[in-house]
A and B are shown apart, each in its own frame.
Chain A
Amino acid sequence: MKKKNNASGGLGQLLIPLVALGILIVFNLFRDIGFFSIVMRVNNSGNIVLTGNLVSIIDSASELAIIAMGMTLVTAACGGQDISVGAVGAISGAVFVKVLQGMGGITPTSVIVGFLLCCLATILFKLFNGTLVAVFRIQPMIATLILYSCARSIAYWINGDATPQLNSPIISSIGMTIPGIPIPTPIFAVILVGLLLFLIFRFTSLGIYTQSVGINEGAARLNGINPTRIKLISFILLGVCVSVAALIGVCRLGQLNHKTLLVDIEMDAILAVAIGGNSLGGGKFKLIGSILGAYIIQMLTTTLYAMNVAPVNVKAYKAIVIIIIVVAGSPVVKSFLTNLWRRVRAPSAPSGPRKEGVS
């Protein structure tokens, strides 16, 4: 099986997300072509913004896309997933709001200081997870289960039983749009985080190290890589991603609710990683796949809402579509289709199959 995957090469990993995206787009084209319309409109605060389903999909998938990128790294390095991202995100938001309150108001400096401190707090919590995973060799899912079950309580403790409101043009320009720029700011945040990670992988060996630790830890150690350090770095980067996502989440709503901030995002993030064609067992990874996965999930949800499915029932339809997507992308179906394709082509092109070395 592995041989086949290798044979299909670079694009192979992105086949599932691209096919899924294609299916969704074609389906929406036939259902209602107006789904794709994008118009300029004046919003409540008097700014000209782009509106439309596509913009809202890309906008509201931002938190998911950012966390999915971090999750991809942790998955690749540790061969397991961090299920505490949503709950730690709540802590992150709580710290951010606490700092804003402590500094007596929302000013550009207090927002920056607040973000840096919430980044720091999140990284500390993620290092706790990372230490359990990398040093004590506890399986990631169980090591992060601890914070998954109690981090929201910590967020509650930090901020008391309150849902503080944040009303300020600074907050709304982070969470929604900056006056004068018609594109929602969270989209820029995704691009920024993506670019940052891309540059890190482009100019350091972190990417290749992460892959090698994920593929074979022992071999990586024998080659002079420190697996513990690589795993901790992956958790730190995830921490940064989580705090950016929490910042967007808080600013988007203009309030902090420790119960609903980034709730249930961990499952969606893992799903995004998997739909993106990354193995959940660690090793090779493609960040772009996970980002695509996040947009696919959001597009699916938006499509279902546009079809007037009640929000509580969305899960069932989502499940059916996910099953169809993964069945279409499964190795067995893929090889069946390749064989079929080859058999159809064989009479017309006797020179033989293009891809070789499959079996």
Chain B
Amino acid sequence: MIENYILMHKGGLDEYRDNIFVNYSSSLTMAMLYLPSESDFSVADEAAVAALVNSSSKMRFIDLSESVYPLLTDLKNYMLIRINDKNITIERHGRVYAYIVQNGELKMLPNGVTSIDDKDRVICCTAEFLRDLNEIAILSDAVISDSAEEWMDHLVCRISDANRLAQGNLTAVTMIVRSGD
């Protein structure tokens, strides 16, 4: 099982423009879209991406990637994630990032498949979310947290201390691998 907590906060803007689409099945499949102010994305394309992710449980990751690519080409900043308790597969484009806590360090995940272990902690987030954080802060909050929600709460407090959550949209997912559950 992958315990996860999703943050979708509008920040200081009038509306929440980023988006996350999730499919909960034996693996967790996710599309994270980052839309800074200069970006634009049609409602129809967004709905199409949502539909693809929703129906992706039996789809190979590469097929999902190829299906969403034409819809997201202009977006530039997005990430596809598939994670189960054995490995995580990501494909990231532009200013969205994924990190894993391993051996007391925070490491950026490369595109492709990475094996993971029980209790590993993973975070996927946009550049806006990361703006007032650093790797040591993310790492420290990860290793003291019992749950994905608690980890996110600590990170939000740090961002709040820096900018009162009054900047752009804040989009992130914290995940903890629970192999025994």
Do A and B interact? no
Binding site for B on A (CB under 8 A): none
